Structure 1
């Protein structure tokens, strides 16, 4: 461990080709977001209407973006000095404060949520300023980020002192500026591209966190019900859905978009890969709640429309996002897999529209079959004989 005054280490040039793994500090930091995602899921479980889903998404975005901010900073400025550890501890406190305020995050505790997010951004701004001071070659990028994030944080700060709904209008403006800040640093980012092996691993770890909530949802759904054959079968189908999502995502996870950006000098694919993860993790988290609602439904009655739409719509969103990720070139044969994901999403939406009157076990069975077909297609296409047919598919 280095001292507080020693500059952070910037990984560029030849360092960008090194294999790199998540640090213990990053893994420890992720634990706070396990709690935050759990609180978000709790909110959605309490209101699975369309407005409840929109509220879930509205709170999910700043939570995800907080994690993204710290992750991207650590990806470019990897250090383990005292200052870095202290700053991360402060970020953990702000993330914990966000989690505490999520339960009534669109009501009485929305001001506390806004302040927690603001202070988290302030810590990130301090980190970028610190990096820019020590590393002249990164100063233009760190200054751009610090200014953009500071403007966004200002709107979040003043939102805590204005009434609803104007508070939420300022949140929206702040998030737009937050999202736009990296996008408007195109030329600066090309010179300091993210690490091609570290970043996919970090995104994978966050996806694991959200998938964990899906597993918890299955356990909760079964534990709160009287066990019968229908409940057991539905629980198995719920696990099949979660396992299928894990399979099709992690079997196709890689740093190809970042490598492409490095080779071709284009960030469009890398940015698409990054931002597409937002609907993916939102969909995974909501799918878990959808599975839980199915398990809690009375097996002899038709599944309510809101629960059917939550399960099918959320999983459809996941497959649509994964379809886009395939088209970013994360693997060979990505076009065919992308088409299968897209067809799966369409089938799920059709079930949501035309599945009125279906029993809960029937709905989750059909959804599980759609999910399993995605895995079967990957296995079929991965056969050695298939790979020899057309390597450019």
Structure 2
């Protein structure tokens, strides 16, 4: 009698045989080993099926399923099924580890580079361009050709070193002022770092081209990729010597021209030669992960703002109802940024070769806008905390306004002395204002000097002391105030027109401009993403896209409120900038979800009608 094969019930829970356990342990041991070098073309041509390399992806028809495709007679419907169900690999741990260097750089430059005027903003954008497109070039190689091996890990180490090089120049990064010795040195180091990055990519593409020669597929586009990287690296090396000579103060612009050319070259060759395209790669996932990182930077920035609010709990206002609402609204804005992006970005689909490339590059202005927007959230949170403290100080100044001139002078100096000592009592904060020791010398001198014998110089000194107090409080709350290029020769602190916080207000007039402009750009980009992620759009998709464009225009119009000076000043001095953004985004999110609900019901009803 033939033996019956064991059923699932008989084998469930059965312990593996000693031989099976040994095989499993052997496989685990093998998984810890690395080849010296593996074919970078495994992802495309499946030339190597070793355990150490990527597993071959299923074809489009395999991903969709043979039964599902064969049962469809209409060619257009069949193409749409294949389009909508493409399976791609997930990001590797090495790629995620590389992303950590990106977020570390982003956190560093944001924490040390304050955007207080046009020049500092442009400098920040320049650094972000270099950082983002260097990440993109490395990622475009990794998602197609990265296969774990000793060689690949050595190349990764160089890319990690490049990211560290970027961080090393972030502290004094200011290419807009090439007269500074630190600027020239930073530009030289940045050029050498970019050269190392591109030469490394040139070697990687060259190795991939060597393997392509064996299978006679994709060699020409890979050679073009490699040549472009080596040419770009050579240009960066040439810029290093140009910066050293110092004959061309605007030569740094060439770096950004080369960055644009090399990106265009890689994307165009990948579109022309389909064999090295981004189809069935995890480009969508990589962009989604980077978006999470950029939004996560906003959370880090807001936690810093919360810490600043807590610092002001003694002589400031600390936590109040208005500050609590502002912080809550800022957190909700960041959360809604996450929802707007990921709720409308389908995973596991291929948008089409050209569309996907445009979609990927559009993430640059989108991510830059998010970075500026969340930095604006931090700035407005700390500014309102500072204003609360300023109101406390100003109230004390106003309460001594009816005294005699000598009493007024002494009371003013007492208030300044009290707050200066609070700001710097721990000895570690005296570096915030370089004038600290000047202040502690000037205050006793002015106190002993009768008001009737004061000269114009004495009045100006008191005016500078009062201004430095407010600047010190601004620095205490994390507000970086640029020093005036020229000191005023006369300041009357007793004049009704005297404003010790004028420089601080000027900073936030600038923050106001890029804050609302950044949110406008975010929604413009979300609208463009909506056009790219749906190949076949219906009227509901167009309504959702239009809604995003309308909101983008709304934020840009809010920025134009400065055309009315009175309304502009009142709005800046109020707690409303962040709550207004939160309210607009919340209403937009609900409208978007209602549009999605109507679209779903309409499509479901149509499908049920057609199935009858």
**TM-score, normalising length: structure 2:** 0.59
**Larger CA deviation: 300-309 vs 360-369:** 300-309
Contact 2:369 2:521 in 1 (8 A): yes
Matches for 1:16-95 after TM superposition, within 5 Å? 17-44=86-113, 46-95=114-163
SS in structure 1 opposite 2:346? coil
- 2:522 is the alignment partner of 1:340: no
The answer for the alignment partner of 1:354 in structure 2 is 561
Name the structure 2 match of 1:4. 36
Cα distance in 1 for residues equivalent to 2:346 and 2:226: 29
Matched with 1:389 is 602
Please say if 1:232 is aligned against 2:324: yes
Assess if the C-alpha contact under 8 Å between 1:128 and 1:142 holds in 2: yes
What is the CA distance between 1:15 and its match in structure 2?
Answer: 4.3
Match of 2:54 in 1: none
Corresponding residue SS for 1:218: helix
Is residue 351–residue 533 contact of structure 2 (8 Å, CA) maintained in 1? no
Contact 1:110–1:160 at 8 Å: present in 2 too?
Answer: yes
- The Cα shift of 1:167 comes to 3.1
TM-score (norm 1): 0.90
Q: Secondary structure in 2 aligned to 1:325? A: helix
- 1:231 aligns to what SS in structure 2? helix
Q: Distance in 2 between matches of 1:6 and 1:158?
A: 34
Q: Which structure has more RCO (C-alpha within 8 Å, separation ≥ 6)? A: 1
Answering whether residue 397 of structure 2 is matched by residue 329 of structure 1, we say: no
State the partner residue of 1:103.
171
Higher mean C-alpha displacement, 272-281 vs 215-224: 215-224
- Structure 1, residues 154-183: CA drift from partner, whole Å, max 9, x if none? 222221222352431321332132222124
1:130-189 CA-partner distances (Å, limit 9, x unpaired) = 111112312112111111122222222221222352431321332132222124315544
Q: Deviations over 1:182-225 (max 9, x none)?
A: 24315544332214461111111111111111111211112112
Number of equivalences = 384
Residue 171 of structure 1 pairs with residue 255 of structure 2: yes
- Pair 1:372–1:10, CA change in 2 (3 A): farther
Higher mean displacement: 300-309 or 99-108: 300-309
Q: CA RMSD in A?
A: 2.4
Structure 1 unaligned segments of length 5 or more: list them: 262-266
Counting only pairs closer than 5 Å after superposition, residues 259-270 of structure 1 correspond to structure 2 as 259-261=351-353, 267=354, 269-270=355-356
Cα distance in structure 2, aligned partners of 1:88 and 1:245:
32
Contact 1:199 1:255 survives alignment (8 Å): no
Distance in 1 between residues matched to 2:320 and 2:162, nearest whole Å: 44
Shift in Å, 1:287: 0.8
Write the distance in 2 (CA, Å) between the matches of 1:256 and 1:347.
33
The answer for unaligned runs of 5 or more in structure 2 is: 1-32, 46-56, 60-85, 176-182, 310-317, 392-504, 563-567, 607-612
Q: Kindly indicate whether the alpha-carbon contact (under 8 Å) linking 1:141 and 1:185 is maintained by their aligned counterparts in 2.
A: yes
- Correspondences of 1:295-314 after superposition (within 5 Å): 295-298=381-384, 299=387, 304-314=508-518
Structure 1 residue 288 corresponds to structure 2 residue 374: yes
| Alpha-carbon offset, residue 43 of structure 1 | 5.0
- How far residue 48 of structure 1 moved from its aligned partner, in angstroms, is 3.1
Cα distance, 1:318 vs. partner? 1.2
**1:79 counterpart SS class:** coil
- Per-residue CA distance 1:331-374 (angstroms, 9 max, x = gap): 86442222111111111111111151204521111111122233
* 1:77 to partner: Cα distance: 1.1
What residue is the counterpart of 2:199 in the other structure? 122
What CA distance in whole angstroms lies between the structure 2 residues aligned with 1:77 and 1:124? 11
SS in 2 for 1:167: coil
What is the alpha-carbon distance in structure 2 between the residues aligned to residue 381 and residue 256 of structure 1? Answer: 24
Mapped to 1, the partners of 2:583 and 2:525 lie a distance apart of 19
Is 2:221 the partner of 1:146?
no
**SS of 1:161 mapped into structure 2:** helix
For 2:255 and 2:574, the matched residues in 1 are separated by: 38
Contact 2:146 2:152 in 1 (8 A): no
Offset of residue 8 of structure 1? 2.2
Within 2, Cα distance between the matches of 1:390 and 1:50?
Answer: 49
| 1:84 alignment partner, SS class | helix
TM-superposition CA deviations, 1:291-350 (whole Å, max 9, x none): 011011144698932121122111111111111111113486442222111111111111
